[in-house]
Amino acid sequence: LSDAIAAQVLDANSRFYAAFEALDIDAVEDCWEKSSRAACVHPGSRWVTGWTAVQASLEGMLSNIDYIEFEVLDLNVSVEDPVAMVTCVERVSSTAGSGRATLDVCATNIFVLSSEGWKLVLHHASPIMQPSDSEGEAE
Amino acid sequence: LSDAIAAQVLDANSRFYAAFEALDIDAVEDCWEKSSRAACVHPGSRWVTGWTAVQASLEGMLSNIDYIEFEVLDLNVSVEDPVAMVTCVERVSSTAGSGRATLDVCATNIFVLSSEGWKLVLHHASPIMQPSDSEGEAE
């Protein structure tokens, strides 16, 4: 995995979160491959599959959010040309409707290289429900 | 995506769940690529990264389970040679310690083709917390 390829993928990943923070639906959509295999899971939710449904879910999320900020932690990138697998933890701060929330979320972002660069085909986000001082070790 | 390739991937996916149902740790481990990029998230938990840690988490799970059964629903397969992306819903019934539970889980399983067949490099499982009669449509 060359540094240049890893940098491309990390840039694509960063642009996805920056677009969300900017509440810029066009920029969020530009991160995605508009295909039937596009798929996402928002934290605690069901699969949304196919670009039309994914697009609707992204628009629905953004229209309900007043403010959102991502601190992206524990980034790992792996590439199997033409696929890149990114895993990370999103520390999400947001205000939506009634109040402010902070949530740690595990995310898988799968990108495929196209002539327009690395495009998201799969975003899977899940809430972390165990205490942060537990390292997942149940002795 | 040829039917034969899709069948190979679905077979690898089925063997993963069958190995879990059999509580057969060797068979579960055989489904995985033993590499530093191996990664998994169990429902509600944090990232476990690298084969050594993934292996320990799988052994920990199996040692705590008396019985587990998966009904695998909503399967989607997409292949970008040499990577296969499988998404599904796991309807999990299990007994662990105190009681019996049934849980619907969204899963992403990413396989990479090796000389020994399709091997898991990433398993991301997340609890579905919305009611099953909601289709995720917040109007």
pLDDT in tens, A19-72: 999 999 999 999 999 999 999 999 999 999 999 999 999 999 999 999 999 999
What phi and psi values does residue B27 have, to the nearest 5 degrees? -70, -40
This prediction has a pTM of 0.92
CA B29/CA B31 separation, integer angstroms: 5
Considering only residues A131 and A111, tell me which one the structure prediction assigns the higher pLDDT.
A111
Residues belonging to chain A with any Cβ–Cβ distance to chain B shorter than 8 Å: 37, 39, 41, 43-49, 57, 60, 64, 74, 76, 78, 80, 82-83, 85, 87, 89, 106, 108, 110, 112, 121-122, 124-130, 135-136, 138
Q: Is the predicted ipTM greater than 0.85, yes or no?
A: yes
Which of the residues B91, B106, B119 would you substitute to probe the A interface, choosing the one with the greatest number of A C-beta atoms within 10 Å? B106
E-strand stretches of A7-133: 39-41, 47-49, 67-80, 83-96, 99-114, 117-127
Task: Write out pLDDT tens, residues A120-130.
Answer: 999 999 999 97
Q: Are the C-beta atoms of residues B61 and B16 closer than 8 Å to each other?
A: no
